[in-house]
Amino acid sequence: MIRVLVWNEFHHERTEESARRVYPNGIHNAIADFLRCDDIEVRTATLQDPDCGITKEVLDETDVLIWWGHMKHHEVPDSVANLVRDAVLSGMGAIFLHSGHHSKPFRTLMGTSANLTWRESGDSERLWVIEPSHPITRGIDRSFFLEHEETYGEPFVIPSPDRLLLIGNFSGGEVFRAGCLYNRGNGKVFYFQPGHETFPTYYVPEVQTVIRNAVRFLAPTYREMTGCPHVRRVTDPEPYVIG
C-alpha cells in the first residue's frame, strides 16, 4: 500500500461560502475521496491539528505528502517545514498543489521565492501535456480543459524543473509551467498548478488522474537520509568503516 497524507490549511472552506459550496468537507477530503483505492491508503491533516498534524513519526509513516495551502502559510512553523524537507531528502514524495507554491516546505525545497503573477478573472485553462510517455501524464490525451481556474502566469520563480510535464494556457493569454517534477535528495517533488478553492477542479477526472499517477510515481523506492560521513579509503587494508 502507498501511504498518502493529504494536508490542507482548511481555512477557506470553513470561513467562506464560495469555497464551502464547492468543497463542503474540505479540499483535503475531496482529494482523499478520489485517491483511496486498492493500493493507496489516505490520511488527512490540517493546520488546526496539534503541530499541524505533522511530526517526524507521522512523516516516517508517509510515502507521499500532498500539500494545499493559501492564506495561512505563515502559521506553519518553520520546524514543520524543515521536517517535510528532511523527509523528502530521505526519500518521501511530496506533491504541492496550486497556491502551495508559496508554502514554507515548497520554498525551502526550491530555494527560491516561488513568486508568480496571478489574477482571479474566471479564465478557462487548457493544460498541455509535454511528455505523454511519462508515468504522471499516463492516461491523459494531448491536453485537457478546465472551464474556470485562477490564472497563474510566468515568470514563476522556481529552479528549472528536472522534468516539465505540463504547461497551462489561460484564456487571458498567460502560459504557466503547470506540472514540474524535481529530485531532491532521495525524494521527488511534483508541483501541480490547478486547484483554486472556489472552482470544482479536484472533481475533474484528468486532474484526479494526474494526482493519482503522481502519487504512484513519487512513492519512495529508497528511504534513507544520505549522510556526510568521514570514511577510510576503500582500498585500505582496514575494513571499510563509516564513522
Binding site for Zn ion (CB under 5 A): 99, 150, 196
Residues in the chain: 243
CB of 80 to Zn ion, least distance (A): 22
CB of 99 to Zn ion, least distance (A): 5
Q: How far apart are CA 125 and CA 172, in angstroms?
A: 9
CB atoms within 10 A of CB 61: 11
CB of 6 to Zn ion, least distance (A): 17
Identify which of residues 14 and 56 has a Cβ nearer to Zn ion in the complex.
14
Identify which of residues 13 and 150 has a Cβ nearer to Zn ion in the complex.
150
What's phi and psi for 195, nearest 5 deg? Answer: 135, 35
Q: How far apart are CA 36 and CA 236, in angstroms?
A: 52
Identify which of residues 203 and 240 has a Cβ nearer to Zn ion in the complex.
203
Identify which of residues 9 and 63 has a Cβ nearer to Zn ion in the complex.
9
CB of 27 to Zn ion, least distance (A): 11
Identify which of residues 91 and 194 has a Cβ nearer to Zn ion in the complex.
194
CB of 178 to Zn ion, least distance (A): 13
Q: How far apart are CA 178 and CA 164, in angstroms?
A: 8
CA atoms within 13 A on the CB side of 106: 29
Q: Helices 205-218 and 27-35, interaxial angle, to 10°?
A: 70
Q: How far apart are CA 156 and CA 7, in angstroms?
A: 23
Q: How far apart are CA 17 and CA 58, in angstroms?
A: 32
Residue nearest to Zn ion (CB): 196
CB of 41 to Zn ion, least distance (A): 28
Query: Which residues are within 8 A (CB) of 71 and not within 5 positions of it... i.e. 6 or more apart?
Result: 9, 11, 12
Q: Which residue has the cell 493529504?
A: 6
Identify which of residues 44 and 99 has a Cβ nearer to Zn ion in the complex.
99
